[in-house]
Chain A
Amino acid sequence: MDLSLSKSQLMIRKNMRKFASEVLDEWAGVLDRDSTPLPADVVREMGRLNIWGIQAPAEIGGAGLDTVSYSIVIEEISRVSAAVGLGVTVHNSVCLAPLLAFGTPEQIARYGPDLATGKKIGGFTVTEPQAGSDASSIQTRAVPDGDHYVLNGQKAFVTNGGVGDLFLVAASVDPAKKSKGIAIFIVEKSMEGFEVGKIEDMMGMRGNMVSELFFSNVIIPRENVLGRPEDGFRISMKTLDIGRIGIASQALGIGTAAYEAAATYAMERKQFDRPIGTFQAVSFMLADMKTHLDASRLLIYRAADLKDRGMPYSTESAMCKLYASSTAMQVCMQALQIFGGYGYVKDLPVERFFRDAKITEIYEGTSEVMKIIIGNDIIREFNRF
């Protein structure tokens, strides 16, 4: 069993770390402070580097990387700016990936190249004000009418909402069928009746323009249904399996940043004539942080590897997301504790890591939903009566 990264994966880590430190680092604090999106030239440069099409095939302008490499890219970007990591992972894994997996050749030809090169930024939206973990209860309706559907409704907490050009939108075609009546539509910002609502003023991830979306009588051509209309819920669930590897990697990036900052500081900061990191109270904290982060990384790579080998990975994906997100939260809390008062002020990025980490336990399925997925798997295996 070989757990080491390949030469190409190591080169990806080195170069993404370089990109994050040379380009994103100067923006990370600004995006958070001003709640503003990345400048267009940085978005373009990320397009040149294939960051908007990490796993998309080279023919449409992507890099065609494996899922472990994908995780490395998200971790390294999130290690510097979790908000940028969020935009990248959502665009790649829950917009572009399902388009490529379930889209028709025409849909892929039409939307794939612009998404893979970052000329268009994408998002994916199920959540509504009244429909969170219970995704089957969505109210957004799409009524068939001749060669098109008419879309009406509202979406909430849409990642990339304020900057996105194209969204995969879950809407009910037949409310009587509940989850079986949900279809996924490819909706463009330019369509009449599409409106971006309020940009959320958030605790963390402030560099992502998370927003409301409103649809009023938006005419959606039938050819913009992703996959078969009755497959919407299944597509959503599969999409979230992929997405969770990305969010887990993002959590890992945040946790790693907090851990490295804390370890560095603990060896510089002297109290009682010695670095505080040499006191057992602090070194034990650092030991826990390092161990949990490493465990997260291995869980993520295992889920990613299963996906690449075409094996079922839904439970493993839920496990890595559950563990990596709670680790990120725990590690950030300990890092802040090690920084003491300096961790609580905005001059240093530790408090940002702390605020950014929390959401990883909430979005792309809460920790409780992850436990439902894992629990159901256990029930299937052991409940024989």
Chain B
Amino acid sequence: MLSIIVCIKQVPDTQKAVFDPKTGAIDRKSTDNIMNPDDLHALEMALSIRDRYGARVTAITMGPPQADDVLSEAYALGADECVLVSDPRFAGSDSLITTRVLSRAILRLGAFDLVITGCEAIDGNTAHVGYQLSEFLSMPLITQIHEFMIDGNHAIIERLYGHEYQKIRVSLPLLLSMGKNSNRVRIPRLVDIKECGEKPISLMTLNDIGGEPGEYGAAGSPTVVIKTEIFSHTRGRAVLEGGIEEKVDAIVHMLKKQNILRF
């Protein structure tokens, strides 16, 4: 039976969040914590592979103790096992150190065939962890997956990007990263929502994954955030005058000026 590990993250719901205009930080009280949307698609991918081929699906998250909420949600959706990687000494880890923690924890979970991550998280939007995991775990990363099939100890994958697609055959184990258009996430049964909070969540700490405290947390992290700014897009309105020729010329001129039309 296949063994699939899905990396998920608890994030503030940035769609609802209010940002401090001075510091750029999220006002944590203004919003709920949710499972990162792309990670839901990663979990759905794992569950649909399990539906077709049979598999054991383990959801893993690194975070503070309250991150177990997203693991409960993973149980509601159908995960077989959930692991929380949590230690106060991990606090302040950047994406590189997060990957170090996750990769060491994953290697201690035993043999696996697939690791699936979301493409990016909506809080940091770095999209680093998937790529970095591929390096840390020394396995290929496949992105932009359109079709996925298992064939013995290989996967046959159709990748779709832009106007072309690519069909590849790649041996397991393998890392997949899933974006928001990759599948439609199932809705959990009410009974599974009711029972998900009672299922056991395994805890892994620094002692379980090994390494020195200095390798983790803010101390181990090379990334320094200098400044956070809020981007805002405002819509404008322009009224074009003149005949149809003049109006078309004006639109083309505007599009070129905005670098939308390039030739």
Q: Which of B73, B188, B191 contacts A58 (CB 8 A)?
A: B191
A48 near B190: Cβ-Cβ < 8 Å: no
From residue B195, how far is it (CB to closest CB) to chain A in Å? 8
A287 interfacial contact with B, CB 8 Å? no
A11 near B76: Cβ-Cβ < 8 Å: yes
A50 interfacial contact with B, CB 8 Å? yes
Give B194-212 as 1s and 0s: 1 = Cβ < 8 Å from A's Cβ atoms.
1111000000000000000
A95 interfacial contact with B, CB 8 Å? no
B188 near A63: Cβ-Cβ < 8 Å: no
Q: Which of B184, B187, B189, B194 contacts A8 (CB 8 A)?
A: B194
Give B73-86 as 1s and 0s: 1 = Cβ < 8 Å from A's Cβ atoms.
10010000000000
Interface size in chain A (residues, C-beta < 8 A): 20
B143 interfacial contact with A, CB 8 Å? no
Interface of B, secondary structure class, is helix
What are the residues of chain A within 8 A of B187 when measuring CB–CB?
Answer: 15, 18-19, 22, 49
Q: Which of B72, B189, B195, B197 contacts A49 (CB 8 A)?
A: B189
From residue B10, how far is it (CB to closest CB) to chain A in Å? 13
Complex Cα gap A65–B196 (Å): 13
Complex Cα gap A18–B195 (Å): 19
What are the residues of chain A within 8 A of B191 when measuring CB–CB?
Answer: 50, 58, 62-64
B194 near A15: Cβ-Cβ < 8 Å: no
Q: Which of B69, B73, B184, B189 contacts A63 (CB 8 A)?
A: B189
B193 interfacial contact with A, CB 8 Å? yes
What are the residues of chain B within 8 A of A11 when measuring CB–CB?
Answer: 72-73, 76, 193, 196
From residue B145, how far is it (CB to closest CB) to chain A in Å? 22
What are the residues of chain B within 8 A of A218 when measuring CB–CB?
Answer: none
**A73-B197 in contact given A7-B72, A11-B76 (Cβ < 8 Å):** no
Is the interface on chain B under 10, 10 to 19, 20 to 34, or 35 or more residues? 10 to 19
Complex Cα gap A7–B72 (Å): 10
- Considering only residues 27-80 of chain A, those with a C-beta below 8 Å from chain B are 48-51, 54, 58, 62-65, 69, 73
A12 interfacial contact with B, CB 8 Å? yes
A51 near B190: Cβ-Cβ < 8 Å: yes
From residue B35, how far is it (CB to closest CB) to chain A in Å? 11
What are the residues of chain A within 8 A of B196 when measuring CB–CB?
Answer: 8, 11
What are the residues of chain B within 8 A of A65 when measuring CB–CB?
Answer: 190, 194
The chain B residue sitting closest to A55, CB to CB, is B190
- Considering only residues 164-194 of chain B, those with a C-beta below 8 Å from chain A are 184, 187-191, 193-194
From residue A369, how far is it (CB to closest CB) to chain B in Å? 31
Q: Which of B69, B189, B190, B195 contacts A7 (CB 8 A)?
A: B69
Q: Which of A18, A22, A63 contacts B190 (CB 8 A)?
A: A63
The chain A residue sitting closest to B34, CB to CB, is A14
Complex Cα gap A22–B191 (Å): 20
From residue B79, how far is it (CB to closest CB) to chain A in Å? 14
B69 near A54: Cβ-Cβ < 8 Å: no
What are the residues of chain B within 8 A of A22 when measuring CB–CB?
Answer: 184, 187
A8 near B197: Cβ-Cβ < 8 Å: yes
The chain B residue sitting closest to A11, CB to CB, is B193
Complex Cα gap A243–B184 (Å): 35
A54 near B190: Cβ-Cβ < 8 Å: yes
Complex Cα gap A51–B195 (Å): 16
Complex Cα gap A45–B69 (Å): 26
Residue of B189, B190, B194, B196 with most chain A CB atoms under a 10 A cut-off: B190
Complex Cα gap A54–B197 (Å): 18
- Considering only residues 64-103 of chain A, those with a C-beta below 8 Å from chain B are 64-65, 69, 73
B189 near A50: Cβ-Cβ < 8 Å: yes
From residue B70, how far is it (CB to closest CB) to chain A in Å? 11
- Considering only residues 134-188 of chain B, those with a C-beta below 8 Å from chain A are 184, 187-188
From residue B220, how far is it (CB to closest CB) to chain A in Å? 33
From residue A71, how far is it (CB to closest CB) to chain B in Å? 13
What are the residues of chain A within 8 A of B72 when measuring CB–CB?
Answer: 7, 11
The chain B residue sitting closest to A73, CB to CB, is B190
Chain A residues at the B interface, C-beta cutoff of 8 Å: 7-8, 11-12, 15, 18-19, 22, 48-51, 54, 58, 62-65, 69, 73
Given pairs A8-B196, A51-B190, 11 additional interface contacts (CB within 8 A): A11-B76, A12-B193, A15-B187, A18-B187, A48-B189, A54-B190, A58-B191, A63-B191, A64-B191, A65-B190, A65-B194
8 A-B residue pairs with CB within 8 Å: A8-B193, A18-B187, A22-B184, A49-B188, A51-B190, A58-B191, A63-B190, A63-B194
State the 3 A-B residue pairs at the shortest beta-carbon distance, nearest first. A63-B190, A50-B190, A63-B191
